[in-house]
Structure 1
Amino acid sequence: MGARKRMSRAEREAQILEVAERVFANDGYQASSMDDIAGQVGLSKPMLYEYFGSKEGLLLACLRRSKRELLEVTSRAAAHATGPEQLLYDCMLAFFRFGDEHQQAWALLRNEFSIPNASVNSELEAIRIQQRDFTADLLRQVRDDLDDEQAEAYAEAIIGASERLALWRENRPEVTAEKATEHVIALFAPGLGF
C-alpha cells in the first residue's frame, strides 16, 4: 500500500469546498452535517472546524469562492469583446455557462431563502452587488451618456432577468446557454441602443 500524498493547506481547503458545495447543494444546508462532509473529505470533524470554524463558515467560504469565480469568468469574457452587443452577449453567455458548469454553486445561490442567516444572506447579496457593479461599469464604458443611476438600474434589470432566466432553464433543459443569452440580447440590446 502506497503512502498518502500530503496536501498543502490550499489544496485541502479546495477539496473541502468541493465536497461541502456538493453536500450543501444535494442535501440542503439545514440537512447537511459537518460529520458527513468530514467523512467524505477524509478528515476528522474537529479538523474541519479548524479550517472553517463552523458550518456557517464553511458555507460562507463556498459562497465566496463562487463569487470570485463568477467575477473571473465574466471579466475574462468582457476582456475579449469587440463591441457593445458582443460585450453583453459574451458576459451573459459566461454567466449562463457558469451556472451550467457549476451546478452545485448555482444550487447554493438559488436556495438562499432556505438559509435563515443574516451573514449568509449578506454574502449572497454581495454576489449580486458584485455582478451589478461589474455590469454597470461595462454599461458606462459602452454608453458614456448613462449616468450612474441609469447604469445601476439597467444593471439591476439585467442581473435580475438573468437570474430568473437561469431558474427557468432548470425546467427547460433544451434551452442552451447560447439560447438563453440570445433571449437576453433580444430583450435588452434594443433598449440599450446596441
Structure 2
Amino acid sequence: MAERKNRKLAKPERRAQLIETAKEILRECGADALTLGHLAERAGVSKPIAYEHFGTREGLLIALSQEIEDRHTAKLSSALAEAPKRLDAVAGIISSVYIDCAVESGEEWQAISGALRGNAEMITTQQQQADDYVALIQAALAPFSTVPDDDLRLRCTGIAGAAEAIGRELIRGRTDEPAASANLAALIVDSTQK
C-alpha cells in the first residue's frame, strides 16, 4: 500500500488522493486531528506536498467543503436532467438528493463547518455555495412556480435553510430518511405556490 501512496501522481490525482485521505482522517479522528502534517504522513507524502495543495489547514478544510458541495451539485444536476416534468417529481428529487447527501457526508460537513466557524474565507465559500444551490433549485422549480422570480429566489433560500435543518435532525437521529425526505419535498411543493 505504501508503494501505491508514494508513487508519483499527477497533481490532480495527488489532490484527489489527499482529499480522500483527509476524509478518512476526519471520519476516524475528527476535525481537530486533521492537520496538514497528519495528512501528509497518512498519505505517505512529504509535508511540502500537502502544503503545496492546500496552503493551510483552513485551505484543506475549505477544499473538503467544496468537494462535498461539488459532489452534491453533480448528483442533483444529473438527477434533475432525468426528472419527469412534474413539480412533485422535481421536489422529490431535490429532497431525496439532499437527504442522501446529508446521510453520506453530513457528519463530515458538520465537523468542517464547526472547525471553520468564523473563518472569513469559509464564510465567503459557504455563501457562494448557498447562492449556487439556490440558483440551481430555483431554475428547477421555476417552470412550476406561480410566484414572481424574486419571491421564488427567497423561497428557495428558505428551502435551502430548511433542508440543512432537516438534514441536521436526521444526522442527530431525530427523524428517519423517509420522513426527512417527504417533509422536505412537501415544503418545496408548498413554497412554489402563492
Same-fold call, TM > 0.5? yes
TM-score, normalized by length of structure 2?
Answer: 0.84
- Of 20, 24, 30, which aligns to 1:18? 20
Look up the match of 2:160.
159
Give the Cα–Cα distance (whole angstroms) in 1 for the partners of residues 2 and 132 of structure 2: 45
Please say if residues 147 and 192 of structure 2, whose CA atoms lie closer than 8 Å, have aligned partners that are also in contact. Answer: no
Measured at CA, do residues 162 and 2 of structure 1 come closer, stay the same or move farther in structure 2, by a change above 3 Å? closer
| Cα offsets for 1:64-109 (capped at 9, x unmatched) | 2222211111111211221111001011101110121234542345
Residue 167 of structure 1 and its aligned partner are, at CA, apart by 0.4
TM-score, normalized by length of structure 1?
Answer: 0.84
Look up the match of 1:65.
67
Please say if residues 159 and 188 of structure 2, whose CA atoms lie closer than 8 Å, have aligned partners that are also in contact. Answer: yes
The secondary structure found in structure 2 opposite 1:150 is helix
Residue identity over aligned pairs, in percent, reads 21
- Of 140, 143, 147, which aligns to 1:141? 143
Give the Cα–Cα distance (whole angstroms) in 2 for the partners of residues 68 and 76 of structure 1: 12
Number of residue-to-residue matches in the alignment: 190
Measured at CA, do residues 22 and 128 of structure 1 come closer, stay the same or move farther in structure 2, by a change above 3 Å? farther
Give the Cα–Cα distance (whole angstroms) in 2 for the partners of residues 191 and 123 of structure 1: 26
Unaligned runs of 5+ in 2: none
Please say if residues 138 and 152 of structure 2, whose CA atoms lie closer than 8 Å, have aligned partners that are also in contact. Answer: yes
Look up the match of 1:96.
99
Residue 128 of structure 1 and its aligned partner are, at CA, apart by 1.4
Deviates more, 1:81-90 or 1:63-72: 63-72
Q: CA RMSD in A?
A: 2.6
Unaligned runs of 5+ in 1: none
| Cα offsets for 1:28-66 (capped at 9, x unmatched) | 25x532211111111111121122222222222222222
Give the Cα–Cα distance (whole angstroms) in 1 for the partners of residues 79 and 191 of structure 2: 22
Look up the match of 1:80.
82
Please say if residues 31 and 112 of structure 2, whose CA atoms lie closer than 8 Å, have aligned partners that are also in contact. Answer: no
Residue 131 of structure 1 and its aligned partner are, at CA, apart by 0.9
Measured at CA, do residues 92 and 171 of structure 1 come closer, stay the same or move farther in structure 2, by a change above 3 Å? same
**Partner amino acid, structure 2, of 1:162:** A
Please say if residues 106 and 167 of structure 2, whose CA atoms lie closer than 8 Å, have aligned partners that are also in contact. Answer: no
**Partner amino acid, structure 2, of 1:57:** G
Measured at CA, do residues 119 and 110 of structure 1 come closer, stay the same or move farther in structure 2, by a change above 3 Å? closer
